[in-house]
């Protein structure tokens, strides 16, 4: 695929910084990802559609392995899971973090080795625990004292399940209130400061059916600074040291969760992985040396940073309307396939693809097709002034927490997922259709 640099488009509008690394500009104004023209994807699979650059996902897995050669890296499946995604991350040497029986079941049936899977969840259903034990997951992360007896009873007297305890280290970090999980006053984990973490650890250690391999924390999501992770390490090692002194137990593992932030728009910061890796390692070694503990094996659980930048959402424009001062560009998807702007106020940088426009850029608000005013995908963005119905818009950095949080609001079926790789496109997940809705609707 050749790359033709356009010269008559303002640089800022033409910045591909947040697009997959394989993105190239085509002479007709379209963009290609992994050698596949995006307008062709929109034509062939219809819109809304999500394209995933397989090579970008694999590259990101490799970047993690390079930055953290000594750590276990678990891909957080909640960001996006399909059988292909499970295969890609497995082939790249990552493990998996799941938080439901069916995420677990889907991954295992796709060939994911269960011993490389960790089960999370603040409220595990009986089925979650049963599936985890039946499929023999590597670790279950205990999030509540009541899980101790439940898991132990399900394991039975002859078994032993490896578990971790999720701790709230009292570190506030994350891109939005709804995704900050490192402090007391939210539903996850056991508090370090009020003593419930230490009490729960003691109970787990006393349970013969459970083998406590280590501690876990996940301080939040979309974190772009290293410092909160260092504070978390310090507190977690402090707790491991107390566990050692109080119970004589040396815990061999420390899971620091995910949360690594990415840029959604050109110019936004992202978490620097090599720097994070280096400083985490130093902090961990220093703290362990200071407290006389052996250095535990580190686990991390990135989701967004593995798959987010590999995804592109494609929409057709259905209507363009000026209301007062605002130009609304309405597309054929919206909050059903991407609830993130409505939930977290996230900003995206949509772009016209499929044709070349020489119109001056003007400010527009990209909205969806759903029946509520909050259905805004991107407020006040720059788009060519001649955007019209029939045009194709693409939104980059669409791979994480969009499809996985999608709904069928207004019975607009969830979009297909198309993998792009080495010049070819293949369908991974088909579009949800009326037949799907009708087949679930079994009563009158």
Q: Buried (b) or exposed (e) across 384-404, using 16+ Cβ within 10 A?
A: beebeeebbbbbbbbbbbbbb
- Asked whether position 258 contacts ligand LLP by CB under 6 A, the answer is yes
- Show the site string, 277-306: x = touches ligand LLP by CB under 6 A, - = not: ------------------------xxxxx-
Say how far residue 153 (Cα) sits from the centre of its chain. Answer: 33
Alpha helices in 194-302 (DSSP H): 196-205, 227-247, 273-291
d(CA 15, CA 20): 12
Q: Is 189 in the site for ligand LLP (CB under 6 A)?
A: no
In the complex, what is the shortest distance from the CB of residue 273 to ligand LLP, in angstroms, rounded to a whole number?
12
Task: Give exposure, 112-142, as e/b (b: 16+ Cβ within 10 Å).
Answer: bebebbbbbbeebeeebbebbbebebbbbbb
Q: Which of 33, 42, 76, 310 binds ligand LLP (CB under 6 A)?
A: 76
**Candidate residues 90, 235, 316, 340; the one interacting with ligand LLP per rule CB under 6 A:** 340
Q: Which residue among 180, 235, 260, 287 contacts ligand LLP (CB under 6 A)? A: 260
**At its nearest, how many Å lie between ligand LLP and the CB of residue 435?**
29
Task: Evaluate whether 167 touches 197 at the Cβ level (below 8 Å).
Answer: yes
E strand map for 102-209? 117-119, 139-142, 161-168, 190-191
Cα separation of 403 and 171, whole Å? 29
Q: Which stretch binds ligand LLP (CB under 6 A): 5-13, 47-55, 71-79, 373-381?
A: 71-79
One residue of 135, 137, 179, 215 binding ligand LLP per CB under 6 A = 179
Nearest distance, CB of residue 259 and ligand LLP, angstroms: 4
259 lies in the binding site for ligand LLP (CB under 6 A): yes
| Residue 288 annotated among the catalytic residues of the structure | no
Instruction: Between 78 and 139, name the residue whose CB sits nearer to ligand LLP.
Output: 78
Distance CA 337, CA 384 (A): 24
d(CA 73, CA 22) in angstroms, rounded, equals: 24
Site for ligand LLP in 120-139 (CB under 6 A): 120
Measured from the CB atom, is 220 or 296 closer to ligand LLP?
Answer: 220
Q: Is 97 an interacting residue with respect to ligand LLP (CB under 6 A)?
A: yes
Q: Which of residues 1-60 bind ligand LLP (CB under 6 A)?
A: none
Nearest CB to ligand LLP, comparing residues 221 and 357:
221
Binding status of residue 357 toward ligand LLP by CB under 6 A: no
Among residues 79 and 230, whose Cβ is nearest to ligand LLP?
Answer: 79
Among 61, 217, 288, 371, which one carries the catalytic annotation? 371
Non-local CB neighbours of 172 within 8 Å, separated by 6+ positions? 180, 182, 183, 219, 220, 228
* Structural Rg of the chain based on CA atoms: 23
Tell me which residues are annotated as active site: 371
Contacts to ligand LLP by CB under 6 A: 76, 78-79, 97, 120, 179, 218, 221-222, 257-260, 301-305, 340, 344, 401, 405
């Amino acid at each position: 695929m050749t790359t033709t640099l356009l010269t008559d488009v303002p640089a800022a509008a033409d910045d591909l910084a947040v697009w997959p690394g394989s993105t190239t500009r085509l002479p007709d104004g379209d963009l290609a990802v992994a050698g596949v023209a995006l307008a062709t994807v929109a034509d062939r699979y219809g819109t809304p559609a999500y394209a995933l650059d397989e090579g970008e996902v694999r590259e990101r897995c490799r970047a993690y392995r390079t930055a953290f050669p000594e750590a276990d890296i678990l891909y957080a499946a909640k960001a996006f899971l399909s059988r292909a995604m499970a295969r890609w991350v497995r082939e790249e040497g990552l493990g998996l973090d799941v938080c439901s029986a069916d995420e677990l079941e889907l991954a295992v049936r796709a060939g994911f080795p269960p011993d490389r899977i960790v089960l999370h969840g603040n409220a595990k259903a009986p089925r979650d625990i049963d599936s985890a034990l039946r499929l023999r997951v590597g670790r279950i992360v205990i999030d509540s004292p009541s899980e101790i007896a439940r898991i132990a009873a399900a394991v039975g007297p002859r078994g032993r399940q490896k578990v971790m305890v999720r701790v709230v280290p009292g570190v506030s970090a994350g891109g939005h209130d709804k995704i900050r999980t490192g402090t007391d006053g939210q539903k996850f984990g056991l508090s370090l400061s009020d003593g419930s973490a230490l009490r729960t650890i003691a109970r787990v250690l006393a349970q013969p059916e459970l083998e406590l391999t280590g501690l876990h924390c996940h301080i939040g999501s979309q974190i772009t600074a290293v410092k909160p992770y260092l504070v978390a390490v310090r507190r977690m090692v402090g707790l491991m040291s107390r566990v050692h002194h109080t119970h004589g137990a040396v815990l061999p593992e420390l899971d620091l969760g995910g949360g690594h932030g990415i840029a959604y728009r050109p110019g936004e910061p992202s978490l620097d992985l090599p720097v994070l890796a280096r400083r985490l390692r130093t902090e961990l070694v220093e703290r362990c040396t200071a407290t006389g503990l052996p250095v535990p094996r580190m686990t991390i659980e990135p989701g967004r940073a593995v798959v987010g930048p590999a995804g592109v959402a494609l929409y057709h424009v259905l209507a363009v309307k000026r209301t007062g001062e605002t130009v609304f560009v309405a597309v054929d998807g919206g909050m059903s396939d991407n609830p993130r702007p409505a939930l977290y106020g996230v900003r995206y940088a949509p772009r016209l693809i499929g044709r070349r426009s020489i119109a001056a850029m003007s400010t527009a608000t990209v909205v969806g097709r759903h029946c509520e005013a909050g259905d805004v995908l991107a407020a006040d963005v720059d788009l060519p002034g001649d955007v019209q119905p029939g045009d194709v818009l693409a939104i980059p950095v669409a791979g994480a927490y969009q499809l996985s949080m999608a709904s069928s609001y207004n019975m607009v079926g969830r979009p297909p997922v198309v993998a792009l790789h080495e010049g070819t496109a293949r369908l991974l997940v088909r579009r949800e259709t009326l037949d799907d809705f009708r087949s679930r609707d079994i009563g009158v």
